[in-house]
Chains A and B, each alone.
Chain A
């Protein structure tokens, strides 16, 4: 097996803030003489609106500006550089063709106030995406408005509330398993519900007995992540749904892990009433700094009246129309029509893959995670033995015996040139190491990662100090996270003393 060498050194050029660089008078522009008559500024703008100087405005040459931003970009680790195995985050590669499509003039230059007749193409993209997402999830209708997964959760729960209120009683609580992402109980709270914890059983799945004990007429619904954050499919989901429906409660599914089951299982077929998807996970649109997220929400017909307005409807002649006449709607949850640039990218991905391609993506994601699991099992403690799908959760139990903890392992992995996996989540696993390779990693990249993890496991036994003091190859080592959280410095101030020039 050939293993390519990983980077042994990260960018080490230090770089000051742009405000601390340059020198007055230095500049990067050289304007040629104007070929139109010159007029004084004071003729054009009121004196009181003009200022002579901007305090601290940097003055730099072009080369300094280019180097400044190039150096900063060098500090970045991103999915175009290497494996990014953050569990629960599905950091899959974002195909470049998506970018090309999102930048087509007819999409990129749209204005949201254009009349419907001039944006039929864009509405068609959104309508097609809605139809595709409904088909993939087995649901009836979809809103594309929410701007992130957590925003989708809130939108979904507001609809749950509206549904119960339309039946006369809002109900009080939402059941949330203890393995859930922190956004789940938070969304329940913000939607005005009490979040009630449901403990997992020894297999790492929802406990039906515990559920029965917590079920009562005040329960508005349950939020289930499936597969859950341990990567385990909630096999009792259909029975859980039956029990919820028996008391008139609804089933919300956190669909952040949909990448594990596209084309294999449909939430709409196992009792889910409402769910959100993360386009920036499952459907290959960029995460965070790479672009805004998008968290579409899919519902069954019973909840459709409450969807945020407007929805896109297709008229008899095939034209698309924005429908604002939705009296029971919870209202708008986002300006205009959501993150349109993400919708065009996600649709491009779905259409390029097709049904078989999406299924293959999920199967490969599961296969890759199983490969990592089988290679690391033994060196790292497997928190739950049940079969896992797209991700696998280890713990630092074996390493802790040598005084090395999950944070140290994560930092050491940086020395081997990898972004660390998710750590310390899910909370049900002490010292959790949550790895999700996704389908877009090659065998070689996975082997290099596995190799690094195994080396670190050995180092924990032979040279624990080396792991505890990692990273050794980065520009900055460990930062004082506690102090940063207790006394955050949120604003740069010019250094005191005589002004630098």
Chain B
């Protein structure tokens, strides 16, 4: 399941672009790989985070994984509901379980994001770079 109105990263984040803002979460593939998510840690609103820097972590019964910032930006809003209900990441990764909303800092970075077709091919090939 790869919605075609979103953009993606090789770290399995999705990005919904809306004017100068973007909403970010993790993909269906990512939640399936992680297994039952038990803990989500997100940055405070107001933080400025560079593209590719870690903006949080998700912990599942199997592993702890970093969340990587797809774009440079300022965090406007954080989905704090995930702290008490981490299972939403498994249930509705593209909807209820959005993670942060940011103001995009550098529009030129948008070019580096994957289209849904490219991301689909990437996970069909295993979903990792090594």
Please give, as numbers and ranges, the residues of chain A lying within 8 Å of B63 by CB-CB distance.
424, 427
- Which residues of B32-80 have CB atoms within 8 Å of chain A's CB atoms? 35-39, 59, 61-64
Q: In the assembly, what is the distance between CA of A178 and CA of B129, in Å?
A: 13
CB distance from A212 to the nearest CB of B (A): 17
Q: In the assembly, what is the distance between CA of A485 and CA of B35, in Å?
A: 13
Q: In the assembly, what is the distance between CA of A119 and CA of B118, in Å?
A: 69
Q: In the assembly, what is the distance between CA of A123 and CA of B43, in Å?
A: 49
Q: Decide if A482 touches B64 in the complex (CB within 8 Å).
A: no
Please give, as numbers and ranges, the residues of chain B lying within 8 Å of A202 by CB-CB distance.
130
Q: Which of B38, B129, B130 contacts A485 (CB 8 A)?
A: B38
Q: In the assembly, what is the distance between CA of A199 and CA of B59, in Å?
A: 21
Name the residue of chain B whose CB is nearest to the CB of A178: B130
Q: Is the interface of B mostly helix, strand, loop or mixed?
A: loop
Please give, as numbers and ranges, the residues of chain A lying within 8 Å of B62 by CB-CB distance.
424
Please give, as numbers and ranges, the residues of chain B lying within 8 Å of A178 by CB-CB distance.
130
Is residue B87 within 8 Å, beta carbon to beta carbon, of the partner chain? yes
Q: Decide if B130 touches A200 in the complex (CB within 8 Å).
A: yes
CB distance from B42 to the nearest CB of A (A): 16
Q: In the assembly, what is the distance between CA of A182 and CA of B87, in Å?
A: 24
**Contacts A182-B64, A424-B63, A427-B63 hold; do A482 and B87 have CB atoms under 8 A apart?**
yes
- Which residues of A322-349 have CB atoms within 8 Å of chain B's CB atoms? none
Please give, as numbers and ranges, the residues of chain B lying within 8 Å of A200 by CB-CB distance.
130
Q: Which of B64, B86, B129 contacts A486 (CB 8 A)?
A: B86
Name the residue of chain A whose CB is nearest to the CB of B127: A430
Name the residue of chain A whose CB is nearest to the CB of B60: A482
**Contacts A200-B130, A486-B86, A486-B87 hold; do A481 and B64 have CB atoms under 8 A apart?**
no
Q: Decide if B64 touches A485 in the complex (CB within 8 Å).
A: no
CB distance from B85 to the nearest CB of A (A): 9
Q: Decide if A485 touches B87 in the complex (CB within 8 Å).
A: no
Q: Mark A480-492, 1 if CB is under 8 A from B, else 0.
A: 0110011000000
Please give, as numbers and ranges, the residues of chain A lying within 8 Å of B130 by CB-CB distance.
178, 199-200, 202, 428
Q: Which of B62, B86, B87 has the most CB of A within 10 A?
A: B62
Please give, as numbers and ranges, the residues of chain A lying within 8 Å of B37 by CB-CB distance.
482
Q: Which of A178, A427, A481, A486 has the most CB of B within 10 A?
A: A486
Name the residue of chain A whose CB is nearest to the CB of B59: A485
CB distance from B38 to the nearest CB of A (A): 4
Q: In the assembly, what is the distance between CA of A182 and CA of B129, in Å?
A: 21
Please give, as numbers and ranges, the residues of chain A lying within 8 Å of B87 by CB-CB distance.
482, 486
Q: In the assembly, what is the distance between CA of A424 and CA of B62, in Å?
A: 7
Q: In the assembly, what is the distance between CA of A485 and CA of B61, in Å?
A: 8
Q: In the assembly, what is the distance between CA of A428 and CA of B130, in Å?
A: 9
Q: In the assembly, what is the distance between CA of A485 and CA of B63, in Å?
A: 12
Q: In the assembly, what is the distance between CA of A424 and CA of B59, in Å?
A: 14
Q: In the assembly, what is the distance between CA of A124 and CA of B63, in Å?
A: 43
Please give, as numbers and ranges, the residues of chain B lying within 8 Å of A199 by CB-CB distance.
129-130
Please give, as numbers and ranges, the residues of chain A lying within 8 Å of B35 by CB-CB distance.
482
CB distance from A2 to the nearest CB of B (A): 39
- 27 interchain pairs (CB within 8 A)? A178-B130, A182-B64, A199-B129, A199-B130, A200-B130, A202-B130, A424-B62, A424-B63, A427-B63, A428-B130, A481-B36, A481-B61, A482-B35, A482-B36, A482-B37, A482-B38, A482-B61, A482-B87, A485-B36, A485-B38, A485-B39, A485-B59, A485-B61, A486-B38, A486-B39, A486-B86, A486-B87
The list of the 3 closest CB pairs from A to B, nearest first, reads: A482-B36, A485-B38, A481-B61
**Given A199-B129, A486-B38, 19 more pairs with CB closer than 8 A:** A178-B130, A182-B64, A199-B130, A200-B130, A202-B130, A424-B62, A424-B63, A427-B63, A428-B130, A481-B36, A481-B61, A482-B35, A482-B36, A482-B61, A485-B36, A485-B38, A485-B59, A485-B61, A486-B39
